[in-house]
Amino acid sequence: MRWLWQANPPVVPELYDPNNEPAPLGDVHRRGEAAHRLLNDPTLAEVFKELREDLYAEWMATEPQQAERRTELYFEAHALDRVTRKLIAYRAAARMRQDAAA
């Protein structure tokens, strides 16, 4: 017996498919503008802040014998920082290109 709200089977999220990636932005200026929008997006800033707090809290909650988990948390935190630095680099490259053209 199925309930009315179970008429359709649940939707399972897809696994990563590189064919679903958006087309590359191409030029430095458009990539810099997109990076600038992301860096100034309050939702993205809040997500990164919460992720860093979660990682720190989980790191502090690890037991002494959980060295491998602490290492994983370390790499996760640094991955967040790498994303931020890459966005800043895209924005800076666009600004330098714009200044050089002016």
Tokens for 8, please give them: 């359709």
The structure tokens 């790499």 sit at 75
For the chain, which residues make up each domain, given as ranges?
43-102
**Model pLDDT for residues 76-98, shown as the tens digit of each residue:** 999 999 999 999 999 998 888 87
User: Model-level pTM?
Assistant: 0.68
**Could you report the per-residue pLDDT of 22-44, keeping only the tens digit for each?**
666 668 888 899 999 999 999 99
Greatest CA span in the chain, whole angstroms?
70
